[in-house]
Amino acid sequence: MARASRGRTTVLLVAIAALLTGCGADVPAGPFPPRPADIDTTSVDICAGLTPHQQAALGVEPGVPGTAELSEGPTRTCRWSSFDDGYNYSIQTLPVPAAVTVGSPDSTVQEISGYGVVQVPAHATSVPQCMTYVDTSDTVGIRTLTQATRPDKRDPTLIEEVCRRAEVFTSQVIENLRSAR
């Protein structure tokens, strides 16, 4: 009888260890690394995504806030335009998590400032742009957009430059919105 009791205890301990291992904080859920912190995109001022100093460095006008309606729900936007260097930047809140964009055509999963992102380049031969979907929480996300707008910037070889700028812009947005909590 004692042998059967030890066997059940061993099975129980193995089961508990397996459960605890599966619930570890450093085990990512899905395609992204664990977030440093959630960013509440439902209440944060998204035009705070760029500081005045960063706006000056990018040569953009102050952010222009807006709203839009997606099929999933309402969204807020903020746009910054540069008429000098031909690049525009924007942020859009998303009523869905960034994970829904994983597997989009031409997308790559990356990490920027500790957050999982899905980067999607588009329109390389017309108006090169790079969209970056940021994993800000389990239920909502943000999308940044970096776009070359001048006719002399419409060159398929520029998509790499646009996406490089997108990574810098997205990193700034993440850091600024995270500290705006």
Domains of the chain and any CATH numbers: 46-179 (3.40.1000)
Q: Report long-range pairs for 12-21 (Cβ below 8 Å, ≥24 apart).
A: none
Residue 104 CA to its chain's centroid (Å): 14
Query: In the predicted model, what is the mean pLDDT of the chain?
Result: 81
| pLDDT at position 155 | 66
Q: Mapping DSSP to helix (H, G, I), strand (E, B) and coil, where does residue 92 land?
A: strand
- Cα–Cα distance, 177 to 42 (Å, whole number): 11
Nearest to 70 by CA among 141, 160, 153, 155: 141
- Cα–Cα distance, 169 to 55 (Å, whole number): 10
Quick: pLDDT tens for 71-89. 888 999 999 998 777 889 9
| pLDDT at position 31 | 86
Torsion angle in degrees (nearest 10) through CA of 132, 111, 176, 165: -50
Nearest to 93 by CA among 28, 51, 139, 29: 139
**pLDDT of 17 higher than 60:** no
Helices and strands (DSSP H and E) totals, the chain = 3, 7
Angle at 59 (CA atoms; ends 90, 98), nearest 5 degrees: 20
- Cα–Cα distance, 59 to 171 (Å, whole number): 17
**pLDDT of 10 higher than 60:** no
Quick: pLDDT tens for 106-137. 889 999 999 999 999 887 667 789 999 999 99
- Name residue, tokens 């089961």: 15
Tokens of 75: 């969204």
Tokens of 61: 């006008």
Report residue 19: phi and psi, to 5°. Answer: -65, -45
| pLDDT at position 160 | 87
